[in-house]
Structure 1
């Protein structure tokens, strides 16, 4: 009975993932459509992607370097851990060491990416302000942006170094900024790239454009902080509700391990534990979606 339940859970998870991908494809952002119209008729650079392109991209965005240099060693350690877990805890230990390390790495990379991206957006107005002052002193837009990158602080300087390298290789500044925006998938960077592209094609007052972008970024940052302060109680409540069942299960394992183990060895107990785990996953996903909507 347990195996069909696990198979049903896997099918439901795959169904939810497919619906999410379909919904995400339908909601293509207006910025992408505008950029597509602006780049009509221009040659596109075709980049050959490796089988580990997604992993490299995630680590690059998080500022953790290239993981493929030691991927063989990490995979070997992971396989050894699975075998070790099977030797200690049968298939339960093997399943735990099969799922927990990738989940932990995914959460750590996502946390590093969000923290780095937040710091970059906080530093972006200073970079744009330096570029505006350079423009008013008589420099061109490309020279002003390149000079502002040299004076930027980490991690923004390291990220914008990608723009510098592309420009030095012959890529136009708007295309290099678009490449950076698509890598980090942030609206502020996309608006910066879009402004450069529009100015490059149609001309206009670049300093006024950057001033408006600085004002917009600071207003969004202020609104984000106000929203975070107003929804702090809601987020804490969600974390408590999500972690309370896991904490109770851990407490039972520490104080009375035979209680849950006896349930696991019984057929009806296995159904109850599988149902409880499914409800916990569904509840955590629901709380996560609620937090994203506030």
Structure 2
């Protein structure tokens, strides 16, 4: 019976990983298509008037996909405003292992270890996703003011690179860190649009990708980039206001989905730690084994349905 429980726990881990990979893959493909579409429209808009008098205009150079060397999860840590390296993952693993050991020692069986590890992974994922959402919201709220300063300095006669550097010095964190990284890449020889795209790659924000495309087209082809940047700033303010209203409307449903999905297993683990005698019949009796298997199956189905409900909003 312990083997069956371990297999069910492993299946739960695989299902959670598959759902995460599926959602992240679809989101990455949507961002890639949106950026490609915006780049094509901007290229046609700028190159069409210039082809008549200047011949073939150079096409925007592709953005480098290289990322700074480091641990595989460094991009995720930067996106969540956490220190890169091994410290945070090791702390999370140590905490999960300690909690799993305490639970297994209290219950007297090893089948609790994978379940506690899965719950710890879900709780850590929820915590990291909340930090990512907050950081992305801060970046999107700071971008319109940065674009306003950029447009104002460009309208005064400064070059786009100089206006970008001056505006970056007036921006608070966390956007200041991203812009400082962009300027450090430009000092190493990268063009401004490539440097911005590479610095913004860990954050996975479509607005930054579009901004890098606009800067690249303006630097290589020319045109009134200040008008496009001003429209971007106005659009981002309207979009942020609409997103805040949508978040306020749907926050109760999304939070309810998280609570309903995590409350039963977390409550069971806490009860098993505090009162192990209460769970002894479930572990040692055949009827308890069946009830536990049914509970795991229903939890998997309910978690998936709640996930689909939260993603559809």
Specify if TM > 0.5: yes
Q: In structure 1, which of residues 152, 157, 175 is the aligned counterpart of residue 171 of structure 2?
A: 152
- Residue of structure 2 in register with 1:141 after alignment: 160
Give the CA deviation at 1:212. Answer: 0.9
The superposition leaves residues 237-259 of structure 1 with CA deviations (integer Å, 9 ceiling, x where unpaired) of 43454355457647966997644
Q: 2:116, 2:269 within 8 Å by CA — same for their partners in 1?
A: no
Once residues 207 and 117 of structure 1 are traced to their aligned partners in structure 2, the CA distance between those partners, rounded to angstroms, is: 24
Q: How does 1:186-201 map to 2 (within 5 A)?
A: 186-201=205-220
Deviation at 1:30, TM superposition (A): 1.2
Quick check: 2:144–2:236 contact (8 Å CA) kept in 1?
yes
8 Å Cα contact 2:182-2:192 kept in structure 1: yes
Cross-structure match for 1:129: 148
Any gaps of 5 or more consecutive residues in structure 1? none
Q: Partners in 2 of 1:260 and 1:279 — Cα distance? A: 19
Residue 163 of structure 1 and its aligned partner are, at CA, apart by 0.6
1:81 aligns with 2:98: yes
User: For 1:119-170, what per-residue CA distance to the aligned partner results, in whole angstroms no more than 9, with x for missing partners?
Assistant: 1111111111111111111111111111111100111111222111111111
Q: Which residue of 2 aligns with 1:271?
A: 290
Q: Aligned in 2, Cα 1:155/1:208: closer, same or farther, shift over 3 Å?
A: same
Structure 1, 71-80 or 22-31: larger mean CA deviation: 71-80
1:227 aligned residue: 246
RMSD: 3.7
Contact 1:2 1:274 in 2 (8 A): no
- Name the count of aligned residue pairs: 291
Between the aligned partners of 1:250 and 1:97, the Cα distance in structure 2 is 7
User: Which gives a bigger RCO, structure 1 or 2 (Cα 8 Å, sep 6+)?
Assistant: 2
Correspondence 1:110 to 2:129: yes
CA distance 1:115–1:164, change in 2 (3 Å): same
Cross-structure match for 2:308: 289
Shift of 1:100: 4.9
Aligned equivalent of 2:81: 63
CA distance in 2, matches of 1:45, 1:182: 8
How far did 1:187 drift?
A: 1.5
> TM (normalized to structure 1)?
0.80
Unmatched 5+ stretches in structure 2: 44-58
Q: TM-score, normalised by structure 2?
A: 0.76
Partner of 1:31: 34
Alignment partners' CA distance in 2, 1:247 and 1:268? 22
1:18-55 per-position Cα deviation (integer Å, ceiling 9, x unaligned): 587468369453135458988876695756855x22x2
Looking at structure 2, the residues matched to 237 and 82 of structure 1 have their Cα atoms a distance apart, in angstroms, of 25
Is the contact made by 2:149 and 2:167 (CA closer than 8 Å) also made in structure 1?
Answer: yes
Deviations 1:218-253 (A, max 9, x none): 111111122123324433543454355457647966
Instruction: Name the residue aligned to 2:51.
Output: none
